[in-house]
Structure 1
């Protein structure tokens, strides 16, 4: 007698794993990540100044706190995707709270190239008074360099 039953009427244990459901789940996850990945990098629309510079060496794996200034001069504090407009005092308060939770986190400023220089300096001064020792500025490489 051949088949999955032996002479006593019991089933033989199956020695192979059905991987088709796992493949289905992986394909669905792949599609979801392919659709959502471009959305994660959206954020505040800022026209960054272009300058040749070296990237910042990040010795720690923490995500930096990014303070953005858009073309209209609105301020945004971003750590993990929260992009709501705030005023200068709220920027200082939020950055101070974030630094109390995670000391040593980098603070970077993304300023639109059309924003007045004085507004960026005021922002940097406010960040310094909130306890930020070093503020980094984000720029884009000129066309042709990458």
Structure 2
């Protein structure tokens, strides 16, 4: 015993790992990856492929919604009698006309012909509006066949 009456205690060794520095390092790495990940996809030019699919049976009455390079819409109607009528319309008028044609012919097939320079979202928007607002069940994209190889 000591003069003060206290016992001498031996210190126990701690067998623990201090994880705070590891968590700090992990959070710093997480922030670095979160900042740099969006910068890795700067943009890729995509040239969409042409489709060499089999021809589909052409319906008697053809209705083609044409989306021009500037986003302007046109309605093209073809009958079995002869030439097509091409009418430039805005989106709401076009949907009303297509709905009226669909009321006369419930099995109407509408083709959406989008120019290659038109944003894809614009073409899909027109396609979706034809299906939802004009109630056209068979609305599809119109494609062209690939050019034959030059010899």
The number of equivalent residue pairs is: 95
The structure having more radius of gyration, on CA atoms, is 2
Alignment-derived partner of residue 55 in structure 2: 55
Distance in structure 2 (CA, Å) of the matches to 1:77 and 1:115: 17
Alignment-derived partner of residue 139 in structure 1: 143
Matches within 5 A, 1:101-120: 101-120=104-123
TM-score (norm 1): 0.59
Secondary structure, in 3 states, of the residue corresponding to 1:71?
coil
TM-score (norm 2): 0.57
Task: Please list every run of 5 or more consecutive structure 1 residues that lacks an aligned counterpart in the other structure.
Answer: 1-48
Q: Give the number of the structure whose residues are more often strand, by fraction.
A: 2
1:109 CA drift (Å): 0.8
1:88 touches 1:126 (CA, 8 Å); kept in 2?
Answer: no
1:101 CA drift (Å): 1.4
Query: Any runs of at least 4 consecutive aligned residues in structure 1 with deviations exceeding 6 A, and if so which?
Result: none
Identify the structure with bigger relative contact order (alpha carbons < 8 Å, sequence gap 6+).
Answer: 1
